[in-house]
Amino acid sequence: MLGLQEVAEILMHHAYVLKDQETRYRKRFMDLMLNSEVTRIFQTRGKIASYITRFLENLDFQEVETPMMNMIAGGAAARPFVTHHNDLNMRLFMRIAPELHLKQLVVGGMERVFEIGKQFRNEGIDLTHNPEFTTCEFYMAYADYYDLMEITQELLSGMVKELTGSYKIKYHANGLDNDPIEIDFTPPFRKAII
C-alpha cells in the first residue's frame, strides 16, 4: 500500500507511464495523470469536432440534434441497445445512426444539415470497435455522391493540415508499441471504383 507521499513522487517522476491497457481503460483518471499523450488525444478530439462544425457551417450547413431513443432501430444494419420508457410503458432503441431523422429534415426543407453525435451499437468490442462512438453525418439536397465526396475530401485534408501542419500523418494502427503507418491526406484523393 502506497502513502500519499509515495504516490506524489511517482506522479512527479516523468519516467513512470501506465501501460496496463485494462487499467488505462477502466481508470481513465490514472491514465490522464500518468500519460500526457492521453490528454493530447482528448484535446485533439475537441479540435476535430470544432473544425468540422466550422467547416460545415461555412458551407451553410445547419447543425441539428436528432433523437437518441427511437421506436424503431433504423439507419444502419446493426444490433441496437434496447431500453424501456417507464412512463410510456414503451420499448425504445438507442440510436444506431441519425440517418433517417437527418434525411427527414432535408425532405422537410432544411437543405443542408449535419450532426456530430453519439451512436450505440450492441456489438463486439476491440481496439477499433466501441459500442458507443461519435460520428458526423451530413446531408445536402440537390447533391450527388460526387458533390459529397468533394466536400469530404476538402473537410479531411483541410482538417489534417490545420491540426498537424501537414497533409501526412503517422498512425499507429496496431497500438503505440508497433511501427506507425503514414497516411497521406494530400488532395485530390485517389478514387476507387467499386
**Per-residue pLDDT tens digits for 77-114:** 899 999 999 999 999 999 999 999 999 999 999 999 99
Average pLDDT, the chain: 90
What pLDDT shows up at residue 165?
Answer: 98
Confirm if 105 and 113 have CB atoms less than 8 A apart: yes
The pTM (predicted TM-score) of the whole model is 0.85
Tell me: pLDDT of 164 over 90: yes
What pLDDT shows up at residue 174?
Answer: 77
Exposed/middle/buried for residue 115 (C-beta within 10 Å: 0-12, 13-18, 19+): buried
Give the closest residue to 38 by CA, choosing from 48, 29, 50, 47. 29
Three-class SS string for 75-89? CCCCCCCEEEECCCC
Strands 181-184 and 82-85: unpaired
Tell me: pLDDT of 17 over 80: no
Please report, in angstroms and rounded to a whole number, the separation of the first and last CA atoms in the chain.
59
- Going by C-beta distance under 8 Å and a sequence separation of 6 or more, which residues neighbour residue 2? 10
Confirm if 61 and 140 have CB atoms less than 8 A apart: yes
